[in-house]
Structures are given as structure tokens and as C-alpha cells.
């Protein structure tokens, strides 16, 4: 089985999970869902001081792989598949130390949901991001919409989900979804992570614990489940099927 998700534990005592399917714009397949779960399990065992999520290629993540998350699935089938990825996002949210998403490329749809599951998002200045699901006749369905409301101003979150627009990294830094923007000539992951490396495991555990107490994860996880259910009911709509057919035809 090919490794579409790779994992390493560094000498500086932090874990790195990498999306490694650049030829498909790191679109999340069901196989990748399993590999993400396995990587998260390893990261927990290694007990690093923090966790990094990054990617190979020019696109961080284009969302769900349309071959697996296609438009012909029945409600219960898609609910099961969306729930699997929702559980991955939940693992990032509840991870015992802070999680840092290094966005060296664009992200769309589910890719933005995955990034939103991390505590900190650092992006290349040239990158762009879009919660574009509403343009496909659905809504965020991995729990990322619920996360977005926790991460940024709720009014802007609603607008972003509803309009399905794509925004630049500098604009989203002003909206607090991106925490730091870095020009591509200055993109050096080791330098970017330096402020976090000198913290102890206990410090990082307490920081994450306090943050999750503040956002009330019990309610958040319930909202994420509700999101999966709502998205599932929209999945078989004519609007969504037409959008998926158009996307697949365009790719061909």
C-alpha cells in the first residue's frame, strides 16, 4: 500500500504528518483517511511537544477525492464516509498538544476543513483558500464548518461558507483564520517552527488543555456530528450531482 500520508518524529521532539499525494492535489481518499488515523496514533505514542501537519506539492489539499466521495452515494453511505473524516478532524482538535498546519499551497473545501482542525495555521503569502462547498450544492461535511465558527468571527464564517469564495492568505490573516503569512522566499519550516521548539511537553499540554476547555469541545463535537448529518441530506441533490459530474468531466 502506497504511503499517501507520511509520518516522522524529529530530533527536536515534535511529530510531522505529511499529505503525500501531490499528483492528486492531496485530495483525501478513504485510504488516506486510514493512513491519517494511523499517523495520529503514532504521534500520540511518540509524545512530541507539538504536531505539524504539512503537505507535498503546490496544493495543500483540494478536499475529498471525488472517486470516493462521489455524488451517487446514498445518505447512509455518505454519512459513514463523512463521519470517518470528521473523526480525523476530531483527533486533531483533541490532540494533547498544539497542532500547527503549514500551508505551503492552496486549500479548498475539505482541505480548509482539515486546516481548521489545527490550532495554528501558517501560510505562504501566495496561497489561496476557499470554503467552496456551497458552490457544489452542499455544505462543509467533515465538521470543518463548525470548527470555522470557533476559529474566527462567526459572522465572517457564515459569509464565507455561504458565498463559497476563495480568499488570499493576507486577507485571511486579517480575518484571523491565518495566524502568520510568509513569503515563499522566506519559507523555511525549521525557522517557522523555532518559536515552538523551546517549549516543554508539559507546557504544551497545559496550553492545549486550557484552549480546549475554553472552546468547550463537548459542544463542538456535537455540532460537528450535526454538520455531517446535514451535509449527508444534501449529498444526493440534483445540484450536487450536476456539480460533481461537471468537476469530473473537467478533470478528464
- Interval 133-173: pLDDT, tens: 999 999 999 999 999 999 999 999 999 999 999 999 999 99
Residue of 59, 58, 68, 56 lying closest to 32 (CA atoms):
68
Radius of gyration of the chain (CA): 17
Q: What DSSP line would sit under 91-152, residue for residue?
A: HHHH-SS-EEEEE-SEEETHHHHHHHTSSEEEEETT-EEE--GGGGTS---SSHHHHHHHHS
User: For residue 248, what pLDDT is reported?
Assistant: 75
Q: Say whether pTM exceeds 0.75.
A: yes
Residue 47 and residue 80: Cα distance in Å, rounded?
Answer: 30
pLDDT tens sequence for the chain (252 residues)? 789 999 999 999 999 999 999 999 999 999 999 999 999 999 999 999 999 999 999 999 999 999 999 888 999 999 999 999 999 999 999 999 999 999 999 999 999 999 999 999 999 999 999 999 999 999 999 999 999 999 999 999 999 999 999 999 999 999 999 999 999 999 999 999 999 999 999 999 999 999 999 999 999 999 999 999 999 999 999 999 998 888 777 755
User: For residue 245, what pLDDT is reported?
Assistant: 83
Q: Report how far apart the first and last C-alpha atoms of the chain are (Å, whole number).
A: 25
Strand partners, 167: 129
Q: What is the arrangement of strands in the sheet containing 166-168, beginning at the earlier edge strand? A: 59-61, 106-108, 128-130, 166-168
What are 126's three cell numbers?
501566495
User: For residue 246, what pLDDT is reported?
Assistant: 84
Burial label for 42, CB within 10 Å (0-12, 13-18, 19+), is middle
**Which stretches of 12-126 are DSSP H helices?**
30-46, 75-94, 110-116
User: For residue 252, what pLDDT is reported?
Assistant: 54
Domain boundaries, the chain: 5-197
| Chain mean position to CA 96 | 17
User: For residue 82, what pLDDT is reported?
Assistant: 98
User: For residue 165, what pLDDT is reported?
Assistant: 98
Topology of the domain comprising 5-197: 2-enoyl-CoA Hydratase; Chain A, domain 1 (3.90.226)
Strands 180-182 and 128-130: unpaired
Q: DSSP label at 188?
A: -
Amino acid at each position: 500500500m502506497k504511503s499517501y500520508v507520511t509520518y516522522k518524529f524529529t530530533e527536536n521532539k515534535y511529530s510531522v504528518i505529511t499529505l503525500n499525494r501531490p499528483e492528486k492535489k492531496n485530495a483525501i481518499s478513504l485510504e488516506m483517511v486510514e493512513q491519517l488515523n494511523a499517523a495520529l496514533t503514532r504521534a500520540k505514542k511518540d509524545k512530541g511537544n507539538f504536531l505539524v501537519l504539512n503537505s507535498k506539492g503546490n496544493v495543500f489539499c483540494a478536499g475529498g477525492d471525488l472517486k470516493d466521495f462521489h455524488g451517487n452515494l446514498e445518505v447512509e453511505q455518505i454519512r459513514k464516509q463523512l463521519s470517518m473524516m470528521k473523526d480525523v478532524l476530531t483527533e486533531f482538535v483533541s490532540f494533547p498538544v498544539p497542532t500547527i498546519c503549514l500551508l505551503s499551497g492552496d486549500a479548498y473545501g475539505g482541505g480548509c476543513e482539515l486546516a481548521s482542525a489545527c490550532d495554528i495555521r501558517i501560510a505562504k503569502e501566495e496561497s489561496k483558500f476557499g470554503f467552496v462547498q456551497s458552490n457544489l450544492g452542499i455544505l462543509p461535511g467533515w465538521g470543518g464548518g463548525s470548527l470555522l465558527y470557533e476559529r474566527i468571527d462567526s459572522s465572517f464564517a457564515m459569509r464565507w461558507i455561504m458565498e463559497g469564495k476563495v480568499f488570499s492568505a493576507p486577507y485571511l490573516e486579517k480575518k484571523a483564520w491565518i495566524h502568520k503569512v510568509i513569503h515563499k522566499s522566506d519559507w523555511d519550516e525549521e525557522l517557522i517552527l523555532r518559536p515552538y521548539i523551546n517549549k516543554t511537553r508539559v507546557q504544551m499540554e497545559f496550553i492545549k488543555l486550557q484552549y480546549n476547555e475554553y472552546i468547550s469541545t463537548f459542544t463542538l463535537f456535537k455540532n460537528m456530528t450535526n454538520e455531517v448529518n446535514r451535509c449527508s441530506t444534501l449529498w444526493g441533490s440534483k445540484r450536487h450531482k450536476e456539480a460533481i459530474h461537471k468537476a469530473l468531466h473537467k478533470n478528464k
